[in-house]
Amino acid sequence: MNNNSKVLALKYRPQSFKDLIGQEVVAETILNSIKADKIPNAYLFTGIRGVGKTTIARIVAKSLNCLKGIDGLCENDLCENCESIVNSNHIDVLEMDAASKTGVDDVRDLIEFSRYGPTSSKYKIFIIDEVHMLSKQAFNALLKTLEEPPAYLKFIFATTEIKKIPITVVSRCQRFDLSRIKSSELLNFIKKIKEKENGKATDEALKLIVKISEGSVRDALSLLDRALISLDDKKELDLSTAQKIFGYFDKSQLIDLFNLILKGEENKVIENYRKIYDQGIEPKIFINDFLEILYYFKNIESLTLESTNFSLNDEEFNKIKEISKKIETDVLILFWQFTIQTLDELDIVSNQHLSIEMFLLRLIHLRDFNFEKKTTEESIKIESKFREDQNNSTSKFAEKETINQIKNISQEKTIKSETQIKTKSLDQVSIQSFDELLDICLLKKEMKLKFELEKNVNLVKFEYGRIEISFNDNLDKNFVKDLSSKLLEWTNQRWIISFSKNEGEISIKDKEINKRKVLIENAKKSEMYKTTLKFFPDAELIDVKPPKKDK
């Protein structure tokens, strides 16, 4: 194949350790081990896609079999062995894709082939890519040969899923974890490639490529290749064009949108969002990018332009820094929470576009949320009022909790520090009946305990500090232990929970079932039901709901 017709990722694939970027420590360690003649039986390279696992495997194979030796390793004028390895047709260097050859029979053939020494080189080398795809039986068949191979045999494994490889295999290899390539290194690398290809692209466009590639050299070169062939030779790739090619939109639009939200300009917010939507941006992508912008607004003071991984340019970085000075941290945290919740909403609404618009309108109204600190006395009154109503019905418990939960973090700290003794006593409750116990379980969100009490427990006797019950075979074995510890925590008193031979009352769930049966039987006696059957003979009464009482 003509070298000019190759894609950039193959055309500029490193051919020696000097050509590698971002993996200097790995390269130096391997070179030193070869020079010292302390070569492991097997190498294991792991990392994300496109950071050089297979490339380093081939370079290691060349280093071990180069006719000029490790000190005179071929770079330009390739020896016979190095040229064959580069072209993937060396008789002693076998490359195998474990994704297509996963079975134990494939590994047995490999082991059988390993019995014969190298033909034209010093070492026989097996390079197995995506090694985690091998079956459990295949790994087991490989273990013995991997631990004590012949002196001429070396294994080189590459994988993106290190956790899927049995630990018995990993322990027999010299493992190297390849890191993502740093943004600055990757930017300089693709700049050089652009110049060699006589391409025209601005630094901002190249930074966008670096961001999308997420530290993968192959991804960055593939994106650069795609960008350069999308334009005429005379045109320069700028940020705007790159965003259109790769499906990204200008982050400054989000920053302007955020600024309009803070100013409360509803019409302009909706207008700007619709312009973004018309660019083909999916609602979920918009929300994720909005979360990213929120993160930068919250942490901009502790970040540098480099640490944003080129997600922001100089102008955007400075704009966020300026706006962030006018925003309270509490507002940003509340915005973050609502944005996360909107992600869940998008899965249940039919028109995600409308949901995003309503989300933005909600943020406009939230920006003026009153974060003014309540005094300690006001906080105690709210807490006391809540505790006074603790013996009411479950719905009242839930209602009071909802009202009381709108307190910011600093407010709660004030209460805790200045009125610690008072609030401690307020946290303790008095449970006088089985129904109150169910209510407090609901309030404290102890749903497992509530389920056991309703479903599997028959109450025999209840008095403060003592509960006597019978139970069915489905009761959880840790029920007594869990209930005792929670009662001690809630009431600051130890409770006695005893089992009785008496059957006791039927369980709450059974009561509900019986009540439902009675309602259905009574309903079947009604004239309405009899009239319905005349018109719909196949009708079946499944459930009856009593009419709601006027409040």
Query: From the CB of residue 107, how many other CB atoms can be counted at a distance below 10 Å?
Result: 23
Residues spanned by CATH 3.30.300 within the chain?
434-499
- Give residue 103's pLDDT: 85
Q: Alpha-carbon distance 127 to 96, whole Å?
A: 6
pLDDT, greater one: 203 or 5: 203
Second-level CATH architecture of 183-246: Orthogonal Bundle (1.10)
Domain 434-499 fold = GMP Synthetase; Chain A, domain 3 (3.30.300)
Mean pLDDT rounded to a whole number for the chain? 80
Pick from 73-77, 185-189, 317-321: least confident? 73-77
pLDDT digits (tens, 9 = 90+) for 381-406: 444 544 454 444 444 444 444 444 44
Per-residue confidence band for 171, with pLDDT thresholds at 50, 70 and 90? very high
Q: Give the three-class secondary structure for 203.
A: helix
Residue type, 482: D
Integer angstrom CA distances of residue 81 from 51, 72, 88, 427, 509: 25, 14, 10, 78, 78
Over residues 178-194, the mean pLDDT reads 89
- Give residue 371's pLDDT: 42
β-sheet with 496-499: strand ranges across: 457-463, 466-471, 496-499
Residue type, 231: L
pLDDT, greater one: 10 or 551: 10
SS (H, E, C) 115-135: CCCCCCCCCEEEEEECHHHCC
Per-residue confidence band for 413, with pLDDT thresholds at 50, 70 and 90? very low
Over residues 5-27, the mean pLDDT reads 87
Radius of gyration over every alpha carbon of the chain, rounded to an integer in angstroms = 35
pLDDT digits (tens, 9 = 90+) for 457-483: 888 888 888 888 888 878 887 888 888
Q: Alpha-carbon distance 512 to 546, whole Å?
A: 13
Q: Alpha-carbon distance 108 to 111, whole Å?
A: 5
- Give residue 422's pLDDT: 39
Pick from 294-308, 407-421, 454-468, 481-495: least confident? 407-421
Second-level CATH architecture of 3-177: 3-Layer(aba) Sandwich (3.40)
Candidates 91, 85, 96; CA nearest to 142 is: 96
Cα 356 versus chain centre, distance: 22
Q: Alpha-carbon distance 37 to 31, whole Å?
A: 10
Cα 505 versus chain centre, distance: 48
Per-residue b or e along 66-84, where b marks 16 or more CB atoms closer than 10 Å to that residue's CB: beeeeeebbeeebbebbeb
Over residues 535-541, the mean pLDDT reads 74
Over residues 230-236, the mean pLDDT reads 79
Task: Write down how long the chain is.
Answer: 551
Q: Alpha-carbon distance 319 to 299, whole Å?
A: 14
Per-residue confidence band for 547, with pLDDT thresholds at 50, 70 and 90? low
State yes or no: pLDDT of 369 exceeds 60.
Answer: no
Over residues 357-374, the mean pLDDT reads 71
Q: Give the three-class secondary structure for 527.
A: helix
Helix or strand holding residue 33 (H, E) = helix 24-35
- Give residue 388's pLDDT: 53
- Give residue 190's pLDDT: 92
| CATH code linked to domain 262-366 | 1.20.272.10
Pick from 26-30, 37-41, 242-246: least confident? 242-246
Pick from 50-54, 193-197, 206-210, 390-394: least confident? 390-394
| Axis-axis angle for helices 217-229, 203-213 (nearest 10) | 140
Integer angstrom CA distances of residue 304 from 172, 184, 320, 372, 504: 42, 13, 12, 32, 68
- Give residue 375's pLDDT: 38
* Residue in the block written with tokens 């700049």: 191
Residues spanned by CATH 1.20.272.10 within the chain?
262-366
Provide the token pair at 274: 């619709």
Q: Alpha-carbon distance 74 to 63, whole Å?
A: 9
- Give residue 2's pLDDT: 56
Greatest pairwise CA separation for the chain in angstroms: 102
Per-residue confidence band for 316, with pLDDT thresholds at 50, 70 and 90? confident
Q: Alpha-carbon distance 530 to 160, whole Å?
A: 68
Residues spanned by CATH 1.10.8.60 within the chain?
183-246
